[in-house]
Structure 1
Amino acid sequence: MSALEHLPDTDNGLLRFLTCGSVDDGKSTLIGRLLFDSKTILADTMNAIEKTSAKRGLTAVDLSLLTDGLQAEREQGITIDVAYRYFTTGTRKYIIADAPGHEQYTRNMVTAASTANLAIILVDARKGMLTQTRRHSTLAKMVGIPHLVVAINKMDLVDYDQATFESIRNDYLAFAEKVGIKDVRFIPMSALNGDMVVERGDRMGWYEGPTMMQILESAPAAHTEKPEDFRFPVQYVCRPRDSANPELHDYRGFMGRVESGEIAVGDTVTTLPSGQSSRVKAIEIGGQRIDKAIHEQSVTLLFEDEIDTSRGDMIVKSAETPAALKQIDADVCWLSETALSPARTYLLRHTTREVKAKVARIEYRLDVNTLETGDAATLEMNDIARVSLKLAQPIFADPYQRNRATGAFIIIDESTNNTVGAGMIA
């Protein structure tokens, strides 16, 4: 009987998780094994990777090909871009992000980590802790991923030795204490053979903890671990025109996504920046009226009063108003090949609001390999730094550690319209 058949018949919600680690630690193979053992691979996809595996002279199917989708990745045998895959076990839906292991693709890893609620840090049992292990763990903590799982992979290549597992575990715990990582679990496994991924296998009886799938099934979903303030950035103001339906003449709905918290009919809300307040008259989703909306639902809000609100404004509960900020300190990851210029004006996009921004100062640049900080006059691609930004108009934000949706922003180069930076408000 499959291990999946023992899972409870419940809905544990959506889990977004990230796999990361050094090159060749087996990230793509782990995801392939999860997809294969959970029977979520389409027949034509399986046939394609079987043919590719045979062309490479392999006797077994190379499951890493399920995520290494770019031609350059397949040719080099590495992951370059972030690959997203989706699957379900019947009790939970998953979105997996497979992040590159190479240091030059740090920006891709930060992008993938920004929405993850759990990160799997893979470690090759033969090599132990490497620079990228520390680097990705530090980045995972910095971008606010609340749960880390250290998967000590390729145990089949060290004869499933318990002492090897314990040694790497102790090394990581010493590092985690220094960095301030608290919620971390450890699991020995062989993604290639499937030991401790979905099935337990019979070669690591000394390990009594859960399999990787059991950890994923029981991990808390986003927005479920602590109360959150209601945040609703307005994307669009809906004013339908239908002469055949007089009831629509006074219709004025504010459309957007509930980034955090929840809202119910009758709640008192305030719109920012105007500061005007009203009560929620109705909530609509897909043309149907509902009594309450929760996080990550896209809905339309209708108010009892006519208030001045437009795209880029923020609707909040009147008792949960965030700060209006015209200067912010933030941890910024520079994504562009063109260096940051403190003399230039950039466009800062925060939720649905866009404002002009200038760099007031670069307080320090962080070396995520050594955790040391140093002075910097500019930022190059993949650099991470604490930056102070001055804004032309206020944004309505929360600290990133409190609210990842309203604590994050991107920086856009107005001349090219390219995203050049991503930031987290301190």
Structure 2
Amino acid sequence: MDASTLAQPVRQPSGDHDAALRFITCGSVDDGKSTLIGRLLVDSKAVLQDQLAGVQRSGETDLALLTDGLTAEREQGITIDVAYRYFATPARKFIIGDAPGHEQYTRNMVTAASSADAAVVLVDATKLAWQDADLKLLPQTHRHSLLAHLLRVPSIVFAINKLDAVQDPALAFRHISAALGRFAQSAGIEPRAVVPVSALKGHNVVEAAPGWCGYAGPSLLQLLETLPVTQAETAEPFSFPVQWVEKFSGSSDTSQGRRVFWGRIATGQVRPGQAVRVMPSGQTATVAQVLDAVRRPRDIGAGHSAGIVLDREVDVSRGDWLLATDAPEAVREVSGTVAWLDDEPLLPGRVYWALHGHRWVKARVRRIGHRLDIQTLAQQQATQLEANAIGQVEITLQEPLATRPFERARLPGSLVLVDTATHRTAGALLVR
């Protein structure tokens, strides 16, 4: 994949553009993520005058303050937590997540990416040896791109920022695009585009800048307006993590006096008359009624909240799963890719809490397969995984879980590992 190919947007089927596009900005610290979002909001007329007046510093507008709202963020000049902002253009609505770039807050970036339709990975041209055709990218650019790819973010866009601050923007764009192309190819990432931008000056962010840096494609916002939202996993067998069990005091309700199991459908579809299996008890029942969020009876598919009423009373609690009768059997041995987020290293033999849907079980780390070298993408032997490392692990569960490969089913294929002593989120495991 050469730079000229990568620099032009990849046109894909339009998808559902009536739905809001959820996208995050990520990359290394101080690459201009918060400033870029501020520029998008200001130039798309999504910021009121009194809001602009509140982000003045020394008589100049600091666009980053539109998203960096925590006191610690404003004092230190960095993004710590994920800040969400909403805006719309005539073409579509957007939900933006401004993810922190500092390594210490990688867990916050993972949280934001897990529900994103697209990721804009910023690359600061001034931090790189842009005159060198064989330049090296920053480790956090690699890490955030890999995490977005592993988390199945459908669209990844590279935005090369601060090109207005280098002597030869066209040469810098060409060399950095080539480096991104080499990295993307080795990592198996198929980016939608590489776009040159200046978040501070506004070049090619909202309005296109034809010919700037030798780039002839759309602006970043024009590109975002064409990206599809994440498609619901309706083709997979039905799976439903129970979040809340509702009991009734009367028989006049739409449930006819039976309990209603509420949650969001993870995969597949559900309709009355469908046979389901309860996990972990293994009992079977038939769906008597399906209710939407306002209690209207209807068939509901993956990605939507539902209330399910069964034809008979069975033992179902929060954390249980309702599954199609032909769904894969539950397993106790699980292997997959882990993004390790805790300051305490991951060690074989240690026990963690594993959260699957709304179900908690104990999990023991059986072995570490390898650790991924962020720079070379080589698989290295490892006896432990340090903070922000990515690797392959095998775990043994105290109770069987109905997991599926993450590449096919996001929710059934993911586990959150939590430290049993500190209760800190320790890692995100994506099932192979």
Superimposed CA distance per residue, residues 264-308 of structure 1 (whole angstroms, 9 cap, x where no aligned partner): 334443332344444432222344313222333222011234444
Answer yes or no: is the 8 Å Cα contact 1:160–1:204 preserved in 2: no
Q: Match of 1:218, SS? A: coil
Task: Tell me the residue number matched to 2:224.
Answer: 216
Answer yes or no: is the 8 Å Cα contact 2:170–2:213 preserved in 1: no
Answer yes or no: is the 8 Å Cα contact 2:234–2:268 preserved in 1: no
One-letter amino acid matched to 2:308: L
The CA distance in 1 between the partners of 2:302 and 2:255, in whole Å, is: 28
Task: Tell me the residue number matched to 2:30.
Answer: 24
Task: Tell me the residue number matched to 1:315.
Answer: 322
Between 389-398 and 121-130, the greater mean CA deviation after superposition: 121-130
- 382, 385, 388: which is aligned to 2:391? 385
Task: Tell me the residue number matched to 2:133.
Answer: none
The CA distance in 2 between the partners of 1:63 and 1:114, in whole Å, is: 26
The CA distance in 1 between the partners of 2:307 and 2:213, in whole Å, is: 54
Answer yes or no: is the 8 Å Cα contact 1:361–1:389 preserved in 2: yes
Answer yes or no: is the 8 Å Cα contact 1:88–1:94 preserved in 2: yes
- 365, 380, 390: which is aligned to 1:359? 365
Answer yes or no: is the 8 Å Cα contact 2:365–2:395 preserved in 1: yes
Task: Tell me the residue number matched to 2:291.
Answer: 284
Between 356-365 and 79-88, the greater mean CA deviation after superposition: 79-88
Q: Note the residue ranges of structure 1 that are not aligned, 5 or more in a row.
A: 1-7
For residues 13-52 of structure 1, the aligned pairs below 5 Å read: 13-50=19-56
For residues 121-160 of structure 1, the aligned pairs below 5 Å read: 121-126=121-126, 127=128, 128=130, 129-158=137-166
Between 40-49 and 225-234, the greater mean CA deviation after superposition: 225-234
Answer yes or no: is the 8 Å Cα contact 1:146–1:183 preserved in 2: no
The CA distance in 2 between the partners of 1:246 and 1:118, in whole Å, is: 41
Superimposed CA distance per residue, residues 22-59 of structure 1 (whole angstroms, 9 cap, x where no aligned partner): 23221111111111122222444322112xx22xxxx5
Answer yes or no: is the 8 Å Cα contact 1:231–1:259 preserved in 2: yes
Superimposed CA distance per residue, residues 129-167 of structure 1 (whole angstroms, 9 cap, x where no aligned partner): 333222322222222222211111223224674343222
Q: Note the residue ranges of structure 2 that are not aligned, 5 or more in a row.
A: 1-13, 131-136
Change (3 A) 1:160 1:225: farther
The CA distance in 1 between the partners of 2:214 and 2:340, in whole Å, is: 44
Superposition CA RMSD, Å? 2.7
- 396, 402, 417: which is aligned to 1:411? 417
Change (3 A) 1:169 1:343: closer
The count of aligned residue pairs is: 410
Task: Tell me the residue number matched to 2:303.
Answer: 296
Q: Match of 2:379, SS? A: strand
Task: Tell me the residue number matched to 1:272.
Answer: 279
Change (3 A) 1:82 1:301: same
One-letter amino acid matched to 2:387: M
Change (3 A) 1:47 1:185: same
Task: Tell me the residue number matched to 2:117.
Answer: 117
- Structure 1 residue 79 and structure 2 residue 79: aligned? yes
The CA distance in 2 between the partners of 1:86 and 1:383, in whole Å, is: 32
Task: Tell me the residue number matched to 1:263.
Answer: 270
The CA distance in 2 between the partners of 1:134 and 1:246, in whole Å, is: 53
Task: Tell me the residue number matched to 2:92.
Answer: 92
One-letter amino acid matched to 1:290: P
The CA distance in 1 between the partners of 2:359 and 2:345, in whole Å, is: 24
The CA distance in 1 between the partners of 2:37 and 2:297, in whole Å, is: 38
Superimposed CA distance per residue, residues 82-138 of structure 1 (whole angstroms, 9 cap, x where no aligned partner): 322233335433332222223333333323222222111112234353332223222
The CA distance in 2 between the partners of 1:246 and 1:37, in whole Å, is: 50
The CA distance in 1 between the partners of 2:323 and 2:49, in whole Å, is: 47
Task: Tell me the residue number matched to 1:230.
Answer: 238
The CA distance in 2 between the partners of 1:264 and 1:223, in whole Å, is: 20
In the superposition, the TM-score normalised over structure 2's length comes to: 0.86
- Structure 1 residue 179 and structure 2 residue 187: aligned? yes
Between 229-238 and 216-225, the greater mean CA deviation after superposition: 216-225
The CA distance in 1 between the partners of 2:43 and 2:165, in whole Å, is: 21
- How far the C-alpha of 1:206 sits from its partner, in A, is 4.8
- How far the C-alpha of 1:358 sits from its partner, in A, is 0.9
